[in-house]
Amino acid sequence: MRTEKKFSPKVLARFLKEGRGLGTYSDYIPWHRVSRSDPSSRGRSHLLLWRDRQRELLSDGEWTGLNFASMLPNLVDLVEQFPINQEDAAHELSRWQIGIGGRVYPGTMTLAHQMGIKHPVVTDIAETVIWTSTTDLLLVLRTPKATKLTLLAVSCKPYDTLTPRAKELLLLEKTYWQARGVEWLLITPEQYDKRVGLTLKSASAWGLAEPASAAEINIATYVVRSMPFHPYSDVIGRLTQIFGGSEQHVYLGQRALWQAVWQGRLPLDLRRHWRPHLPLTLLPMTDFLALNPIASRRSSCL
């Protein structure tokens, strides 16, 4: 049973003491965590091990968002439950890239005042403190020139449950990132085909697993393309044989195939039903990318 069921000034002070929201790459600590000592989220929470760190996702939507984000070929880092600054502060990109500093950007308190909205707070009997807002997913991307980095902020929400106040706070978050020249996306289930989200969830155990070797991914790519009308089960059977024929090699075949999909080597029609007897259908790359709302930069309107 959780020992702290509601947010309070004491809980937020503990977050600061624990270094929540600090670090990068495998050293990052999310501001909100899937923990027995944290107030629970309203949705289903998920823990995923990916890129040498446990990812702490507070909803099915965040899991789907991470799946889409992890397929971007220029993704350098991804941090979840990222706290945005209450006070005016330097650009967040300075954590990842040297030389991004000097200029100060408005925090949420300044922006809330400018927008004429009430900044969220947390209150108990004796104390009131400013609430720390968070962005669900903050992506660090390499630019086409490969010499610089850029950020992409993503909020994952079920749009039909957003209250007027929730939309107001999302607008504050959007304005915060826009003031820093960072694109902000609101990803709702309306922005993607539900079948695609379900396929990625089913396959994420392989797609987000320890990376397969380049040789294994090359083999999986060749086998899939050489068996265009064969059932999925036949393709996995063939890969299993090539990799050694044991039960362990079934997993290796699945991992190599789905990581080829994740990397865009196999632009699979992700709208397929999860049935072993159905063949794998490949799409033109433009159609494959269009299935991913983050790659396509689709965003719901507030």
Q: What is the pTM of this model?
A: 0.94
CB 244 within 8 A of CB 251: no
Q: Does residue 267 contact residue 283 with C-beta atoms inside 8 Å?
A: yes
Question: What was the pLDDT predicted at 2?
Answer: 42
Whether 79 contacts 28, CB under 8 Å: yes
Contact 298, 277 (CB under 8 A): no
Q: Where exactly are the structural domains of the chain?
A: 9-191, 194-290
How many residues are there in the chain?
Answer: 302
Dist CA 42 CA 157 (whole Å) = 12
The answer to whether the beta carbons of residues 60 and 189 sit under 8 Å apart is no
Q: Which residue has the tokens 């996702």?
A: 57
**Does domain 9-191 correspond to CATH entry 3.10.580.10?**
no
Write the CB contacts of 194 (distance below 8 Å, at least 6 apart in sequence).
none
Give every CB contact of residue 93 below 8 A, 6+ residues apart in sequence: 100, 140, 149, 150, 151
pLDDT score for 5: 65
Instruction: Kindly give the confidence (pLDDT) of every residue in the chain, 302 residues in length, as a single tens digit, with 9 standing for 90 and above.
Output: 344 468 999 999 999 999 999 999 999 999 999 987 788 776 789 999 999 999 999 999 999 999 999 999 999 999 999 999 999 999 999 999 988 878 999 999 999 999 999 999 999 888 999 999 999 999 999 998 778 999 999 999 998 889 999 999 999 999 999 999 999 999 999 999 999 999 999 999 999 999 999 999 999 999 999 999 899 999 999 999 999 989 899 999 999 999 999 999 999 999 987 678 889 999 999 999 999 999 999 999 98
Question: What DSSP state is assigned to residue 108?
Answer: H
pLDDT at res. 3: 44
pLDDT of the residue at 21 = 97
| DSSP E strand boundaries for 106-223 | 121-123, 128-130, 134-142, 149-156, 183-187
Cα R_g (the chain), whole angstroms? 21
**129/120 Cα distance (integer angstroms):** 9
Q: How far is CA 299 from CA 33, 133, 192, 285, 294, in A?
A: 26, 20, 10, 21, 8
